[in-house]
């Protein structure tokens, strides 16, 4: 039987999980880790790299490395690598395909179906793009669920029937969501959801990057933002971004951290190094307004759900960014209580997705999840007005009908512009597309009535259908071409493209696994040699030289990336290390 997995497709990192023996379980990647960087790289020879190996080559090869693709989902942007152009859906599909291969290897069975999570505040275009990404990767996408809802499911999984109101505060790598969820005896009902699709950890990193650039300019009189050599410029920015992220993460547990970037720039023959101390206080000053931007969505969610902070029983923090002390303080101050400490903010979304997969597969008892429409859905009417059809926070799936009267004698076609958003002005909302309604029965002006149905499906994806009122016949609706959406043909074509890479992705996975094992073995060996030299372990000098010889052999084989030789060395070295593990 084919398995269904749950996938948290994050801006920075992604995770995959499944229900195993009745429990949601995270699935490790080839390096034994649950977290896989959402990074895709293309080597000069056209080979695809995904996850850790892609992240590792980002500095050396920034122009052929794609990060934070989630931020471009649902847009018409294209990523140009060499001669080829990729849609955000295709790049996401590569990440999803890798998670599929990880799951298949771990579970020992084919995985054809997936539940994929998205930020609750994702628009129709972003949800559709995610679903297409899943299909390009070779999944049947069973359902798209909201990240906060998944987190609440993970929390409520073993909590029994007690009624509780939960606030989920989700600050990830690129997006921010707040959801209020009421849980009663296995039923999860979303009461309200708000957020900001353009606020996340990346923005915090860039604040630190800007600061480092400013400080470097003051000290060295060199502007790292204005380096004439484009590829050097990119590599510098990539190194700064990575160092900024590391510093940011350090400052969640430390009060001060060092940023060291040796050889950041070469002036003539002279290398210039970047060295900076960053305190938590300075960092907090740099990002205060970003943290404060999360305040208003909390208020809005509470007022939409008609709740006061004290009526909320539990607060769940989701996303790596919620490890930031300043973020935790803001949530505590707004809500008047501490968030739960026993929920892992990086893992709970994938766990919730796995629970939803288990429900779908019938291997878990039924939970009922009722989510809501994140945005008001409506159409443009004369004078740039926005006519609301489905208000935000309406429980989904839902369907609303609207009646149209023809405005011209003999009219056979009509154009409907569908939008999502909260502004009274159509032009300020997000356009979903223009739909051409054709085959209207010709009649005198006002005589022909067309019923248009606006459906939000269970995934939060909008579907528009129409019917001639008189003839009760379905009318065809075509979306005017938009690069934001892929056609069925484009999805099928991309699917073939990605599946062509399966063999090389498997080989790459194996290579990454062996290289990682070799590096870990080398680390263990080095520690053992050092312990022997210091006399902390009793190892005679002949043995120490044997161990050193082994370490050198691994180093050599790592340089040439000779996988079969590495495997041989790893086996021998593991045996040697085991002899001393007393
Ligand atoms: P997510 O993928 O939703 O877990 O969020 C990833 C974001 O969380 C990235 O911007 C990470 O840099 C950030 N992050 C991860 N761990 C920490 C930490 N300990 N403190 C602060 N931010 C973190």
Q: How high is the pLDDT of residue 112?
A: 95
Residues 139, 12 share a domain: yes
Instruction: Mark whether 250 is an active-site residue.
Output: no
Burial 220-237 (b: 16+ CB within 10 A, else e): eebebeebeeeeeebbbb
Q: How high is the pLDDT of residue 407?
A: 82
Within-domain flag for 493: no
Closest atom of ligand 1 relative to the 13 alpha carbon: 2
Within-domain flag for 159: yes
Instruction: Mark whether 8 is an active-site residue.
Output: yes
Q: State whether the beta carbon of 252 lies less than 6 angstroms from ligand 1.
A: yes
Q: How many domains does the chain have?
A: 4
Q: What is the mean pLDDT of residues 192-200?
A: 93
Residues 193, 205 share a domain: no
Region for 46 from its dihedrals, namely left if φ exceeds 0, alpha if ψ lies in -120 to 50, beta otherwise: left
Per-residue pLDDT reduced to its tens digit, 70-83 = 999 999 999 999 88
Q: State whether the beta carbon of 249 lies less than 6 angstroms from ligand 1.
A: yes
Q: Is the pLDDT of residue 1 over 80?
A: no
> Tell me, what CATH number does 71's domain have?
3.30.420.40
Residues 131, 52 share a domain: yes
Within-domain flag for 381: yes
Residues 437, 308 share a domain: no
Within-domain flag for 497: no
Q: What is the mean pLDDT of residues 3-31?
A: 96
Q: Where are the beta strands (DSSP E) in 289-397?
A: 314-318, 368-370, 377-381, 385-390
Q: In the listed set 236, 258, 289, which residue is the last one of a domain according to the structure? A: 289
Per-residue pLDDT reduced to its tens digit, 136-175 = 999 999 999 999 999 999 999 888 778 999 999 999 999 9
Per-residue pLDDT reduced to its tens digit, 403-426 = 888 888 888 888 889 999 999 999
| pLDDT > 90 fraction of the chain, expressed in percent and rounded | 72
Q: Where are the beta strands (DSSP E) in 197-339?
A: 256-267, 270-279, 314-318
Q: State whether the beta carbon of 326 lies less than 6 angstroms from ligand 1.
A: no
Residues 324, 299 share a domain: yes
Query: Within 13 Å and on the Cβ side, how many CA atoms surround 90?
Result: 25
pLDDT band at 476 (very low <50, low <70, confident <90, very high): low
> Tell me, what CATH number does 411's domain have?
2.60.34.10
Give the Cα separation of 495 and 522 in Å (integer).
39
Q: In the listed set 371, 403, 432, which residue is the last one of a domain according to the structure? A: 371
Q: State whether the beta carbon of 322 lies less than 6 angstroms from ligand 1.
A: no
Q: What is the mean pLDDT of residues 528-541?
A: 89
| pLDDT > 70 fraction of the chain, expressed in percent and rounded | 98
Residue 358 alpha carbon to ligand 1 centre in Å: 27
Give the Cα separation of 70 and 4 in Å (integer).
22
Q: Is the pLDDT of residue 474 over 70?
A: no
Residue 398 alpha carbon to ligand 1 centre in Å: 35
Closest atom of ligand 1 relative to the 252 alpha carbon: 20
Lowest mean pLDDT segment, chosen from 30-44, 86-100, 468-482: 468-482
Selected residue with higher pLDDT from 564 and 466: 564
Q: State whether the beta carbon of 245 lies less than 6 angstroms from ligand 1.
A: yes
Average pLDDT across the chain, whole number: 92
pTM to 2 decimals?
0.90
Residues 473, 518 share a domain: no
Lowest mean pLDDT segment, chosen from 283-287, 478-482, 525-529: 478-482
Lowest mean pLDDT segment, chosen from 4-18, 197-211, 322-336, 422-436: 422-436
Q: What is the mean pLDDT of residues 34-48?
A: 91
Q: How high is the pLDDT of residue 481?
A: 59
Residues 117, 179 share a domain: yes
Residues 457, 404 share a domain: yes
Q: How high is the pLDDT of residue 295?
A: 97
Within-domain flag for 494: no
Active-site residue (options: 102, 132, 170, 346): 170
Residues 310, 389 share a domain: no
Q: Is the pLDDT of residue 180 over 90?
A: yes
Q: How high is the pLDDT of residue 478?
A: 63
DSSP letter assigned to residue 101: H
Per-residue pLDDT reduced to its tens digit, 483-511 = 778 889 999 999 999 999 899 899 989 99
Within-domain flag for 496: no
Q: How high is the pLDDT of residue 382?
A: 84
Q: Using a CB cutoff of 8 Å and minimum separation of 24, what contacts does 337-343 make?
A: 337/312, 339/169, 339/315, 340/155, 340/314, 340/315, 340/316, 343/151, 343/154, 343/155, 343/316, 343/317, 343/318
pLDDT band at 582 (very low <50, low <70, confident <90, very high): low
Q: What is the mean pLDDT of residues 288-307?
A: 97
Q: In the listed set 371, 399, 418, which residue is the last one of a domain according to the structure? A: 371
Residues 6+ apart with CB under 8 A from 313: 164, 165, 166
DSSP letter assigned to residue 376: -
Q: How high is the pLDDT of residue 308?
A: 97
Q: Is the pLDDT of residue 302 over 90?
A: yes
Q: How high is the pLDDT of residue 555?
A: 94
Q: Is the pLDDT of residue 363 over 90?
A: no
Residues 31, 142 share a domain: yes
Edge-to-edge strand order for the sheet containing 40-42? 48-50, 40-42, 65-66
Residues 326, 284 share a domain: no
Residues 377, 478 share a domain: yes
Q: Is the pLDDT of residue 223 over 70?
A: yes
Lowest mean pLDDT segment, chosen from 110-124, 180-194, 358-372: 358-372
Cβ atoms of 339 and 332 closer than 8 Å: yes
Cβ atoms of 41 and 150 closer than 8 Å: no
Q: State whether the beta carbon of 241 lies less than 6 angstroms from ligand 1.
A: no
pLDDT band at 284 (very low <50, low <70, confident <90, very high): very high
Q: Is the pLDDT of residue 479 over 70?
A: no
> Tell me, what CATH number does 230's domain have?
3.90.640.10
Within-domain flag for 195: yes
Residue 173 alpha carbon to ligand 1 centre in Å: 6
- Host domain of residue 534: 502-579
Q: How high is the pLDDT of residue 561?
A: 87
Q: Nearest C-alpha to atom 16 of ligand 1 is from which residue?
A: 320
Q: What is the mean pLDDT of residues 198-227?
A: 96
Q: Nearest C-alpha to atom 19 of ligand 1 is from which residue?
A: 249
Q: Is the pLDDT of residue 398 over 80?
A: yes
Within-domain flag for 211: yes
pLDDT band at 571 (very low <50, low <70, confident <90, very high): very high
Cβ atoms of 309 and 334 closer than 8 Å: yes
pLDDT band at 332 (very low <50, low <70, confident <90, very high): very high
DSSP string for 22-62: TEEEE---TTS-S-EE--EEE-TTS-EEESHHHHHTTTT-G
For residue 187, give the nearest of 355, 313, 314, 368 by alpha carbon.
368
Q: How high is the pLDDT of residue 356?
A: 94
């Amino acid at each position: 039987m084919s398995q269904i997995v749950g996938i948290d497709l994050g801006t920075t990192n992604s995770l995959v999980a499944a229900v195993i023996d009745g429990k949601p379980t995270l699935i490790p990647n080839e390096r034994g880790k649950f977290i896989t960087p959402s990074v895709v790289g293309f080597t000069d020879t056209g080979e695809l790299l995904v996850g850790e190996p892609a992240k590792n080559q980002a500095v050396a090869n920034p122009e052929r490395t794609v990060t934070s693709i989630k931020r471009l989902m649902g847009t018409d942007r294209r990523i140009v690598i060499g001669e080829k152009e990729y849609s955000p859906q295709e790049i996401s599909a590569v990440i999803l395909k890798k998670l599929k291969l990880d799951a298949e290897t771990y579970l020992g069975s084919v995985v054809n179906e997936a539940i994929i999570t998205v930020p609750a505040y994702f628009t129709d275009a972003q949800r559709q793009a995610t679903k297409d990404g899943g299909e390009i990767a070779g999944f049947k996408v069973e359902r798209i669920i909201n990240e906060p809802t998944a987190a609440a499911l993970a929390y409520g999984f073993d909590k029994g029937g007690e009624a509780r109101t939960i606030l989920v505060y989700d600050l990830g790598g690129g997006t921010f969501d707040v959801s209020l969820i009421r849980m009663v005896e296995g039923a999860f009902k979303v009461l309200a959801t708000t957020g900001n699709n353009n606020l996340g950890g990346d923005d915090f990193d860039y604040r630190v990057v800007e600061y480092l650039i400013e400080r470097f300019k003051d000290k060295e009189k060199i502007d790292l933002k204005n380096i004439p050599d484009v590829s050097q410029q990119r590599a510098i920015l990539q190194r700064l971004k990575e160092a900024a992220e590391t510093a940011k993460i350090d400052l969640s547990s430390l009060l001060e951290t060092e940023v060291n970037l040796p050889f950041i720039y070469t002036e003539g023959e002279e290398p210039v190094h970047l060295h900076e101390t960053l305190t938590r206080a300075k960092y907090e000053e740099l990002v205060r307004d970003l943290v404060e931007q999360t305040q208003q969505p909390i208020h809005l969610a509470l007022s939409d759900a008609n709740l006061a902070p004290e009526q909320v029983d539990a607060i769940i923090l989701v996303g790596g960014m919620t490890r930031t002390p300043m973020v935790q303080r803001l949530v505590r101050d707004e809500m008047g209580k501490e968030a739960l400490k026993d929920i892992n903010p990086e893992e709970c979304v994938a766990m919730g997705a796995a629970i939803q997969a288990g429900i779908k597969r019938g291997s878990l008892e039924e939970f009922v999840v009722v989510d809501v429409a994140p945005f008001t859905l409506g159409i443009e009417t004369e004078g740039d007005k926005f006519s609301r059809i489905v208000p935000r926070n309406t429980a989904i799936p839902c369907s609303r009908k609207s009646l149209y009267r023809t405005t011209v004698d003999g009219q056979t076609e009509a154009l409907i512009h569908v939008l999502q958003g909260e502004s009274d002005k159509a032009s300020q909302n997000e356009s979903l597309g223009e739909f051409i309604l054709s085959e209207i029965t010709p009649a005198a002006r006002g005589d022909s009535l067309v019923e248009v149905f606006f459906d939000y499906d269970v995934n939060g994806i909008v579907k528009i259908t129409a019917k001639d009122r008189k003839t009760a016949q379905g009318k065809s609706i075509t979306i005017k071409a938009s690069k934001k959406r892929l056609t069925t043909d484009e999805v099928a074509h991309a699917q073939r493209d990605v599946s062509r890479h399966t063999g090389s992705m498997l080989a790459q996975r194996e290579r990454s696994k062996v290289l990682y094992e070799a590096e870990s073995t080398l680390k263990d060996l080095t520690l053992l040699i050092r312990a022997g030299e210091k006399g902390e372990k009793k190892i005679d000098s002949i043995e120490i030289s044997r161990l050193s010889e082994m370490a050198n052999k691994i180093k050599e084989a790592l340089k040439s990336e000779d996988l079969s030789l590495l495997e041989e060395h790893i086996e021998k070295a593991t045996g040697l290390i085991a002899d001393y593990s007393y």
